[in-house]
Amino acid sequence: STALKQGHITPTELCQKCLSLIKKTKFLNAYITVPEEVALKQAEESEKRYKKGHSLGDLDGIPVAVKDSFSTSGIETTCASNMLKGYVPPYNATVVQKLLDKGAVLMGKTNLDEFAMGSGSTDGVFGPVKNPWSYSKQYRGKRKQKAHGENEDSNWLITGGSSGGSAAAVAAFTCFVALGSDTGGSTRNPAAHCGVVGFKPSYGLVSHHGLIPLVNSMDVPGILTRCANDAAIVLGMLAGHDPRDSTTIQDPVKPFTLPTLADVNKLCIGIPKEYLAPELSSEVRSFWSKAANLFESEGAKVIEVSLPHTSYSIICYHVLCTSEVASNMARFDGLEYGHRCDINVSTEAMYAATRREVFNDVVRGRI
């Protein structure tokens, strides 16, 4: 953003560099759709604003990517499923529109597990997403030491899921911000695998209007960036009430503001003792302690707390997940949009055959 404002690079040059990188890293399979003409047009419009001194802010001219489960006007949205092949939404998801309103340049729609059901980004119809770190010198060197004669093409790491395409896109420098969705870790998991920052906002802080639902009561648009400050900037732009999403916080008087370092000494941070499970690795436990110590050194109060019903949370998650998945998938019946089979014996037979033809084993299993 600073480079754009100071004229060291233009939005068009930046867009072209990212498009070039997308082509060079096509083997990662991070993107499903790349609307080059749309991206270049948006970059040109941004460039005109900069020349006139009318920048829209920190996101103006910044290349972004969006998980292919968010509706994008005029751009195919598939959820990595044959069910939605060819489906072009007539509107933008609220979070997508907010990014575009701030001048962001949409590089493309990213790959995922089919209908966001998975934790590896390996189960979409467009094939698995490959972790950019699979091709680092460090990893390749280790693999050569461990195993000789293996096929190089098979030596790749998963990105985690279900927002693996978005995480890989950020890690591979093909964009600077990417949107994922997070129900039970689908932004944070791939962020951890790919070495980027993944943030799930509190439910109701960011609108999920236009996000094709997995589990309505837990779905939240997630943010993927390369540093925490970038995630905070994007969150500040996305947060707020949306009249099209009744779950968003209805507080028009107090706009969302980012906390400052000075606010840390006003915090009381609880560490649930139930989360220090025996299975927790020593490395994770060490980083957890470092984070707690960092807060404490800045003046925050850190205390141990108890969440005694933690053991039931996984059960509750799976009950909610499977019941809402079954309900949400019912809309994909072959009648109104998406794939439709050729069987016309009866409505029920058409429903069943349509869904059998396009849903993979994971989706059918959850239903």
Q: Which fold has domain 2-238?
A: Amidase signature (AS) enzymes (3.90.1300)
Report d(CA 169, CA 164) in Å as an integer.
Answer: 8
For the segment 59-63, the average pLDDT, to the nearest whole number, is 98
In percent, how much of the chain has pLDDT > 90? Answer: 81
pLDDT at 258: 63
> Which band of pLDDT confidence, cut at 50, 70 and 90, is reported for residue 264?
confident
**67 catalytic, yes or no?**
yes
Contact 164, 180 (CB under 8 A): no
Active-site entry in 46, 67, 69, 163? 67
Active-site entry in 119, 181, 186, 207? 186
Residue with tokens 């107090």: 254
Query: Each residue of 154-186: pLDDT tens digit?
Result: 789 999 999 999 999 999 999 999 999 999 999
pLDDT at 135: 93
For the segment 4-11, the average pLDDT, to the nearest whole number, is 96
Active-site entry in 46, 162, 181, 207? 162
Contact 8, 160 (CB under 8 A): no
Report d(CA 103, CA 50) in Å as an integer.
Answer: 11
**Predicted model pTM:** 0.92
Report d(CA 254, CA 272) in Å as an integer.
Answer: 30
pLDDT at 311: 85
Q: Where in the chain is the domain with CATH 3.90.1300.10?
A: 2-238
Query: Each residue of 100-156: pLDDT tens digit?
Result: 999 999 999 999 999 999 999 999 999 999 999 999 988 888 877 666 555 656 789
**186 catalytic, yes or no?**
yes
Q: Which residue intervals of the chain are DSSP H helices?
A: 2-5, 11-24, 36-52, 94-101, 137-146, 164-171, 188-194, 228-238, 282-297, 310-329, 347-358, 361-366
pLDDT at 216: 92
Query: Each residue of 188-204: pLDDT tens digit?
Result: 999 999 999 999 999 99
